[in-house]
Amino acid sequence: MEKRCSKCNSWLPHIHYSYIGYCCRKGDVSHHEYYCEFFSELSFEEEFLWCESCKVLISQEELEDHLSRGHCLFRGVFVDRDYREEIYEG
C-alpha cells in the first residue's frame, strides 16, 4: 500500500488546499506526499466522512457511490484555527 499522509488514518486534508493537511498524531501540518513512521492505513468507519472532491460531508450510505466515481474520501477535514476572524456576516 502506497505510504503517504493522504492515505493515512491520522491525516485530515485542509478544507480548501488539497496538497496540505493536518496530522492528528503530530499536531502539525504536512504535505500530502509526506509520510512518517506512524503511518496507518485509512479506514472509513465514521458515520460522516469528508468527500474532498465534492467539498461536503457525506454519510456512510453515500460512501460507495462517491468511491466508485473516483472521489477522494477522508475521515474528516482540517479547518484553520482562526477562520472565524476572516469571515463577514452573511
Partner 1 sequence: MKVDLSFVIGGFQGGGVESAGQIAVRAFAMKGYDVLGSREYHSNIIGAHSYYHIRVGGKALQMPLDALIALDAESVFTHFQNMKDNGILICDLSSLEKKASQIPSMSKALKKRIELSYGDFPLNQILEKLEFRLIALPMAELLKSLSKSVEKPLSSVSRALNVIGTSAGLYLLGVDEFTIRKAIEKQFRDSDVNLRAMEIAIEEVKGEKRGEIPSVEKKENLIVSGNEAVAIAKLRSQIEFLSFYPITPATDEALFIEENRGRVITVQAEDEISALGMALGASIAGLRATVSTSGPGFSLMNEMISFAVQAEIPIVITLWMRASPSTGIATRTGQQDLLHAIFSGHGDAFKIVIASGDHEEAIEDVSLSFKLAEDFQMPVIHLLDKYIASSLTTVARDKFEFSLPKREFKGDSESYQRYRLTEDGVSPFLPLGMSTMIVSSLEHDEYGFATEDPEIREKMMLKRMRKFKKVAERVSKLSYSVHGFKDADVTIVSFGSTKNAIVEAIERSEHAAKFLQLRVLSPFPDISKEIRGKVLCVESNAGQLSLLLKSCCKVDAVARKLNARPIYVDEVLMAIDDAMNGKEEVILSEGA
Residues that bind partner 1 (CB under 8 A): 14-20, 27-29, 31, 53-56, 79-90
Shortest approach of partner 1 to residue 35 CB, angstroms? Answer: 14
Rg, C-alpha atoms of the chain = 14
- Name which of 45 and 86 has its Cβ closer to partner 1: 86
Shortest approach of partner 1 to residue 85 CB, angstroms? Answer: 7
Say how far apart CA 20 and CA 82 lie, in whole Å: 17
Tell which phi-psi region holds residue 48, choosing left (phi > 0), alpha (psi between -120 and 50) or beta. Answer: beta
Shortest approach of partner 1 to residue 46 CB, angstroms? Answer: 20
- Name which of 20 and 42 has its Cβ closer to partner 1: 20
